[in-house]
Structure 1
Amino acid sequence: MTAIVAAAIPTFGLAESWPQFRGPRGDGIVTEGNPPVQFGEDKNLTWKTDLEGKAWSSPVIADGTIWLTSAVEIVPTEDERVELLRKTENEERQFKQLAIAKAIELKVFAVDLETGKLKQTIELTTVEQPDAIHSLNSYASPTPVIDGNRVLCHFGTFGTFCIDRTNGKLIWERTLPLKHAVGPGSSPIIHDGKVILIQDGLERQYVTALNAETGSTEWETDRPPMDAPTGDQKKAYCTPIVVTDSNGREQLLCMGSQWMVSYNAKKGEEFWRLYHGKGFSVVPRPVFDGEAVYFSTGFGKPQLWAAKVDGSGDVTDSHVLWTVKKSIPAKPSPIAVDGLLFVVDDNGVASCIDSEDGTNVWSKRLGGKFSASPILANGRMYFCNHDGEVFVIKPGTECDIEVTNQIDGQIMASPAVIGDALILRTATSLYRFDR
């Protein structure tokens, strides 16, 4: 792991933590800081640090340290790969889209925010003959979450680990077996002293809360029944959000295949459920604007739905505001700001949608494939594609692409902003850019 220092470090502003997937608010919106608009391998680069292993998890940051998970794969030959896949429950026609390792070493890196130097490598565990994953996924895709002096690192069925970030020691670990089919994806959140995990696998779909201090199970609740021929169309990979409705109820919104469900975060009891159809393998994290929740329905034919959150029971026929069926992402999450929703679909079409009625304000093809969720910082949105292109767009009723930046490497992880610094993770490196 090496760091390339390319510029002096400027003093940054008040936003000093990025504790979870999609930032402090969990919606990709940064309220403080002024990250650079133009950047690249030789422009506004503060440092670049090479990373060991393969991981699509996003960085989380607190107290001058960047925390990242990674999986170092023992890669098989092609003949070994086919033989390993034959030992799984996958059909041979699926082999082309799958990847598998002989073993994986799960690790956590602590990187100094100021210098980019590796401060610590924490070896978590080695998993022999892990399950197969989709070739576009990694064994370390869920983003960790910071809670006080703890950092929670989740690898789906391969383990959940709580680390003391003051000394790097393991506090507790749990293994919650699950058949993901194509690898882990759901990121954990921390709420009211609980680690909330969406566990939507092939054979069982449920939501659980673990005690953040001990790892013990506080509650677990099964998902609503699903009408699907196989478990493949019941699985999902979403990350929950917490909202408060007009009645003062604090809700845990857990999007899944076929159903969006609201739970009582304290006990796991269901408040309401909404049937959204046959969508499955849901990835995008929902967003909430204080009145409605907006969510993508996942694979199949992705749709964007808007719904009120003040109901009880089955609200399918009463609380849906509108749906949009064109150019909706199956992987990147939306941004909601100033009465507008901004999305980019997996094939690179960005759209602006009126959040009141779902009408299309504009659409523009950016190009490339997209998985990372966009962020909004200092009045500009950052959209990152697989080819290392970062499109900086001003939010508004017209598509205003301010600049297109290019960095080396594949971008699958969502970016982070800390003060005036933009932190980007590629398949091989971690970057810091400053004005």
Structure 2
Amino acid sequence: MRTLLSTLIVLGSALVASAENWPQWRGPKNDGHSSETGLPVKWDEKNSVVWKIRLPGPGASTPCIWGESIFLTTQEGTDIVVHCITTDGKAKWSKKLGTSKGKPYRNDEGNDASASCSTDGKLVFAFVGSGEVAAYDFEGNKVWDLDSQKKYGEFNIQFGVHQTPVLYKGRLYLSLLHRKAQLLVALDAATGKEIWQHKRQSDGRGESPDVYASPFIWEKGDQALLISHGNDYCTAHKLDNGDEVWRVGDLNPKAKYNNNWRAVSSPLVTPDLIVVPSCKNGVTVGIDPAKAKGLIVPGSPAELWRLPKNTPDVPSPLLVDDLLYIQGEGGVLYCYEAKTGKAVYSEKVTNMRHRANPVYADGKIYLLGRDQSTVVVKPGREFEVLATNKLPDNFAASPAVSGGRVYLRGFENLWAIGAK
């Protein structure tokens, strides 16, 4: 019996240790992928819910997970709060970070708790819509904080600041793109001290300077660039000083300029393919990052293809093997060949809009809609729905995957879905 108990303890510890972290908004590689297996296909409120915990306020920030700690933000009246919840569903600590004006954006779709936390396993970093950015240790002690509105200028953006900073090799990169500023900022993640700031150039006008898309890091081998999207362009910048390397143009063509153009959907950034969305049913562009330089427009060597319509409005694209998936505004899932942009299929998955990003894990694509449903789709050239699952909550945050579970953050609850 003693030997059996020791074996079970070792096995249990091994399972915890082998759980893949979800350290940032779109997962381990910031591309919406998880290597976790044994994940659920079907669930409802009474089945496959390991636990749920009532949240003290709404928000759209996706949970970030490291080991046994889950981090997210909520808006509670005018308080914007950072929370740590354990993977057994217990509240560990809560810290007020900022003060909101209290109003939601676009009715119930978002608020000042929309940017997601990120972590390097030592510190957790949070950015909220009132402009505060801070680092905490895993016990909730604040290591440093910064008021970006005081330091870099008051925000002026129609639907609030929701961009998630990107954490990479000891630096935190902020995107502060709105009508009063067009700045990219690199901070030392350990201290919060500024390393550089770069004024991002654009001739965008109207609503275009309001940018809701998040920055990403492109990395291949020993090369890495900061990717920034919005204000009519997608741009790449050096990590040591912010200097621009290339930009994708004609996302909002001057000949038929749309003054209501605004970037919400973020690019898909992978080593060999960058997919640049636009908005308003506009273009989507596939870029070969190895050939990217200068201004990239139709006919440039770096441009692989340019889809004329059906760009995602909010969710970011997802790449699985050689196929690209785009979640359309009206609940339609579009599938394309990643190398050519050739259409494979377009199928309706829900009748409601989607705000969450698609996630791929365990041979399944998880699509979370505003109609309380998660549609599970089998990847491949033939469209196949494996399950449609509903939970009584409102969802705008993206799913997170860790430890054999799918975590769904609603406005009311955080749900842990998996085997009990």
User: For the aligned residues, what is the CA RMSD?
Assistant: 2.0
CA distance in 2, matches of 1:213, 1:245: 25
1:55-70 alignment, distance < 5 Å: 55-70=59-74
- 1:403 partner letter: A
Classify the secondary structure of the residue corresponding to 1:233.
coil
Correspondence for 1:101:
none
CA distance in 1, matches of 2:388, 2:54: 23
Correspondence for 1:210:
187
Correspondence for 2:152:
none
CA offset at residue 297 of structure 1?
A: 1.0
Correspondence for 2:236:
262
CA distance in 2, matches of 1:380, 1:371: 19
- 2:194 partner letter: T
Correspondence for 2:414:
430
Cα-to-partner distance string for 1:63-112 (whole Å, 9 max, x where unaligned): 20111111112xxxxxxxxxxxxxxxxxxxxxxxxxxxxxx101111111
1:281-300 alignment, distance < 5 Å: 281-298=262-279, 300=280
1:22-421 alignment, distance < 5 Å: 22-73=26-77, 104-114=78-88, 116-127=89-100, 129=101, 133-135=105-107, 136-165=109-138, 167-177=139-149, 178-228=155-205, 230=206, 232-244=207-219, 248-278=222-252, 280-298=261-279, 300-309=280-289, 310-316=291-297, 317-318=299-300, 319-367=302-350, 368-421=352-405
Cα-to-partner distance string for 1:150-191 (whole Å, 9 max, x where unaligned): 1110014431111111x2111111111222221121101111
Match of 1:18 among 11, 19, 22: 22
Classify the secondary structure of the residue corresponding to 1:17.
coil
Cα-to-partner distance string for 1:329-350 (whole Å, 9 max, x where unaligned): 1101111121110111121000
Classify the secondary structure of the residue corresponding to 1:143.
coil
CA distance in 2, matches of 1:207, 1:349: 33
- 1:155 partner letter: V
TM-score by length of 2: 0.88
Classify the secondary structure of the residue corresponding to 2:18.
coil
Cα-to-partner distance string for 1:245-274 (whole Å, 9 max, x where unaligned): 58x531111111211111111211111112
- 1:145 partner letter: S
CA offset at residue 192 of structure 1?
A: 2.2
Contact 1:33 1:417 in 2 (8 A): no
Q: Call closer, same or farther: CA 1:433–1:244 in 2, change over 3 Å.
A: closer
Cα-to-partner distance string for 1:136-155 (whole Å, 9 max, x where unaligned): 32111000111231111001
Moved more, 20-29 or 168-177: 168-177
Task: Give % identity.
Answer: 26
CA distance in 2, matches of 1:29, 1:258: 28
Q: State how many pairs are aligned.
A: 390
CA distance in 1, matches of 2:146, 2:270: 34
Classify the secondary structure of the residue corresponding to 1:32.
coil
- 1:211 partner letter: D
Contact 1:288 1:336 in 2 (8 A): no
Moved more, 325-334 or 406-415: 325-334
CA distance in 2, matches of 1:324, 1:353: 10
Contact 2:202 2:231 in 1 (8 A): no
Gaps of 5+ in 1: 1-8, 74-103
Contact 1:40 1:406 in 2 (8 A): yes
Contact 2:71 2:85 in 1 (8 A): yes
CA distance in 2, matches of 1:62, 1:386: 27
Contact 1:14 1:33 in 2 (8 A): no
TM-score by length of 1: 0.85
Cα-to-partner distance string for 1:354-386 (whole Å, 9 max, x where unaligned): 111111101101121100001001100000001
Cα-to-partner distance string for 1:7-28 (whole Å, 9 max, x where unaligned): xx99568233111001111011
